[in-house]
Amino acid sequence: MAIERVGIVGAGQMGNGIAHVFALAGYEVLMTDVSTDALDAAIALIDRNLTRQVSRDLITADTKADSMARIGTTVKLTDLGPTDLIIEAATERETIKTAIFEDLVPHLKPDTILTSNTSSISITRLASRTDRPEKFMGFHFMNPVPIMQLVELIRGIATDEPTFKTCQDVVEKLGKTSTASEDFPGFIVNRILMPMINEAIYTLYEGVGSVQSIDTSLKLGANHPMGPLELADFIGLDTCLAIMNVLHDGLADTKYRPCPLLTKYVEAGWLGRKTKRGFYDYRGETPIPTR
């Protein structure tokens, strides 16, 4: 089917980035959130990010204006009903995602494709709570969305081939690259990435190295652009913990046990950049390691 109108649920870090790339690719976008303040902040951030692209000669001022004109906002979830493709990018909690899909379903067109940007939750299970499991799949963008080139496409057990092919074509039109993943905990990226981050936290917890030495070792020793603890702060320690719990529960293997230090930081509310403290303290001009 032809995708022209795209609905995005959630105006946070992922939602506004997804809206940005879809509008830039020529799609009509309708973004919803429970908070008007969140929607206003998302529009302002998209405007700033597009302005940055203009300043770097990546796009023209006219392209920016056209892209901004394609983005609409609403606080009514049901307004997304007439769209062709919906991407849910709400909080990484299954109860919230399930409630969103249950509220949406009665208002959808028969051929609307439903997708989730979840980084670890079972696509098959989410799909089973809708009236269209064959038209449901995972559409997992990397953060920050305008910069990262990968999109993981995850089939649920019931996802049909036309739905997969349609989403694959959409990713291509966005100018990004898709990979196909089966529906197992963590999919591909987080199945590999999160245990690495968790192991880095164990390395800190056991006193093998400091925050600074661990991050420097991986940046210079493995040529990673960002150290694992710095990356954890960027992702959000609550998100890292949630994904590790999904891996641990879903695969029943002790190698996925979340490090107790990660749990302790989340209990303290030290979630990384978004709360100004995590493995680094971001309240000053320069991030300072907290251990």
**Quick count: other Cβ atoms within 10 Å of Cβ 264?**
12
CB 77 within 8 A of CB 100: yes
Helix (H) or strand (E) holding 113: strand 113-116
Give the separation between CA 184 and CA 120, rounded to whole angstroms.
Answer: 8
- Active-site pick, 178, 190, 198, 230: 190
Burial 127-160 (b: 16+ CB within 10 A, else e): bebbebbebbbbbbbbbebbeeeebbbbbbebbe
- Active-site pick, 67, 88, 117, 140: 140
Residue 224 a catalytic site member = no
Biggest CA pair distance of the chain? 56
**Which residues does 96 contact at the CB level (< 8 Å), separation at least 6?**
90
Residue 20 a catalytic site member = no
Q: Rounded to 5, what percent of the chain is helix, strand, coil?
A: 50, 15, 35
Q: 212-220, long-range: CB within 8 Å, 24+ apart, which pairs?
A: 212/289
Residue type at 267? E
- Active-site pick, 67, 119, 122, 178: 119
- Active-site pick, 94, 152, 178, 230: 152
* Sole residue written with tokens 């249950």: 102
Tokens of 12: 């946070």
Residue 16 a catalytic site member = no
Catalytic site residues?
Answer: 119, 140, 152, 190
